[in-house]
């Protein structure tokens, strides 16, 4: 099995485990992860937060979105066009539409967000303690982060999504922090 096949197999295995979570188990871990995120002070400095909008069995980001709106923190969400993804400012959930694969995304009238000194919550299927990740296979975040190098990167994951080591490609960029239900992992790449 080559590296690409190993990554695909690990992605399938972890996503299957995530999809098997009982609703009450998922909700409990989502609350614990949200608490860790809400307790992370740099999130509340006023810098824009670029947030994926959770879908399916992903860690639920909707309560975080609501809290960001409540605290008047600038928020941007991703929108996909072809093979590219960019972030657009949103001020409320009413500005969202079903987009790529039915995932909610900003409507066409939302303005493109300036990256600047933003914080971006990056989704993923699998992570390691160095902050490297296996995404969902589309490469959208890899391409975005390759261009926008000045953003502070975070991830939210269930404990079983953390593995010893992720197979990396030369273009992979680690996330700086991973928030799970049981710990906050600071990437060894940033120590």
Asked whether residue 102 is marked as a ligand-binding residue, the answer is no
34 is in an annotated binding site: no
Q: 136 among the known binding-site residues?
A: yes
Q: Is 140 known as a binding-site position?
A: yes
Q: Is 65 annotated as ligand-binding?
A: no
Q: What is the torsion angle, in degrees rounded to the nearest 10, for the CA atoms of residue 151, residue 55, residue 186 and residue 68?
A: 60
135 is in an annotated binding site: yes
Tell whether 121 is in a known binding site: no
Is 141 annotated as a binding-site member? Answer: yes
Q: Is 11 one of the annotated binding-site residues?
A: yes
Report CA 128 to chain centroid distance, whole Å.
Answer: 14
Q: What angle do CA 80, 85, 86 make, to 5 degrees?
A: 110
Annotated binding residue 67:
no
Is 189 part of any known ligand binding site? no
Helix (H, G, I), strand (E, B) or coil at 81: strand
Q: Is 58 annotated as a binding residue?
A: yes
Q: Is 88 annotated as a binding residue?
A: no
Which residues have CB under 8 Å from 181's CB, separation 6+?
28, 29, 32, 33, 158, 159
Residues in binding site: 7-11, 53, 58, 133-141
Residues in binding site for ATP: 7-11, 133-141
Residues in binding site for substrate: 53, 58
């Amino acid at each position: 099995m080559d590296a690409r096949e190993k990554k695909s197999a690990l992605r399938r295995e972890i996503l299957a485990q995530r999809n098997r979570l009982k609703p009450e188990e998922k909700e409990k871990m989502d609350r614990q992860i949200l608490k860790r995120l809400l307790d992370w002070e740099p999130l509340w400095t006023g810098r824009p937060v670029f947030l994926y909008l959770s879908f399916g069995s992903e860690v639920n980001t909707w309560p975080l979105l609501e809290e960001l709106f409540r605290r008047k923190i600038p928020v941007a969400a991703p929108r996909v066009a072809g093979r590219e993804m960019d972030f657009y400012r949103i001020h409320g959930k009413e500005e969202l539409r079903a987009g790529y694969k039915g995932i909610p995304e900003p409507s066409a009238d939302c303005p493109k967000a300036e990256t600047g000194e933003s914080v971006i919550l990056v989704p993923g299927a699998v992570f390691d303690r160095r902050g490297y990740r296996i995404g969902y296979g589309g490469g959208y975040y890899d391409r975005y982060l390759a261009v926008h190098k000045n953003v502070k990167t975070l991830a939210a994951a269930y404990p079983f999504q953390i593995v010893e080591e992720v197979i990396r490609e030369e273009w992979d960029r680690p996330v700086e922090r991973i928030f799970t239900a049981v710990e906050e992992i600071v990437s060894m790449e940033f120590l």
